[in-house]
Amino acid sequence: MKVFLIGFMAAGKSRFGKKLANQLGLPFIDLDEFITTETGKSPADWLVEKGENFFREIERACLMQLIGEERFMISTGGGTPCYSDNMQQMNKVGITLWLNTPFGQIFQRLSITKARRPLIDNDAKIPDREQVEFLFNQRLPFYQQAQITIPAADLDKATALLKSRKAD
């Protein structure tokens, strides 16, 4: 089984994905961590140093490398499904699961996190709500292409749905 966990930044994909992968007996891969290991630079570093388009090419190459694996749960970056034909590729080879976390909850998490997020960082050190909401709304059509939508980290529902898919 190949599962791709998608959703906006700070939706809880990595935490949720680790738990879900454990329940399903799948190896868990955080795409951002994989990129860091493979390239020696974090996604944030790539974004700051080379820009988003350059980073998305690296991210896509890493995603395509992982797609060849036999079974996994991959927690993607928030923008992964929105670049090139990544979403179509993920839908073709596996199951896409959108962790649909409400925007208010996401913005609250982003407001208190210390993590670097170059796409929304600013001099005030507090994300601009309109800027974040604009990016969120830009990405929604891609997230809505997921085969399964799970509201705000409903682990039991996700486990049941994926186990039923596994049986097919």
Q: Is residue 96 included in any domain, yes or no?
A: yes
pLDDT for 166 beyond 80: no
User: What dihedral do alpha carbons 146, 52, 152, 147 form, nearest 10°?
Assistant: 10
Cα Dmax for the chain:
51
Determine the pLDDT at residue 120. 60
Domain contains 43: no
Higher pLDDT among residues 27 and 164, named by residue:
27
Unique residue bearing structure tokens 């949720």: 16
Single out the residue of 87, 94, 102 nearest to residue 136, CA to CA.
Answer: 102
**Residue 158 forms part of a structural domain:** yes
Query: Is 131 inside any structural domain?
Result: yes
The amino acid that residue 143 corresponds to is: Y
Assign 156 a pLDDT band (cuts: 50, 70, 90): confident
- pLDDT digits 0-9 by tens, 77-117: 999 999 999 999 999 999 999 999 999 998 898 888 666 56
Residues with Cβ < 8 Å from 161, sequence gap 6 or more?
97, 148, 150
Report yes or no on 60 lying in a domain.
no
38 and 31 Cβ atoms separated by less than 8 Å: no
Q: What is the pLDDT of residue 128?
A: 80
Determine the structural domain holding residue 155 and report its residue range: 2-30+71-167
Range 140-154 average pLDDT: 91
Residue 85 lies in a domain: yes
Q: Is residue 49 part of a domain?
A: no
pTM: 0.89
| CATH code: domain of residue 159 | 3.40.50.300
Q: Mean pLDDT, the chain, as a whole number?
A: 90
43-82 per-position pLDDT tens digit: 999 998 999 999 999 999 999 999 999 999 999 999 999 9
Query: In the chain, how many domains are there?
Result: 1
Q: Let me know if residue 44 belongs to a domain.
A: no
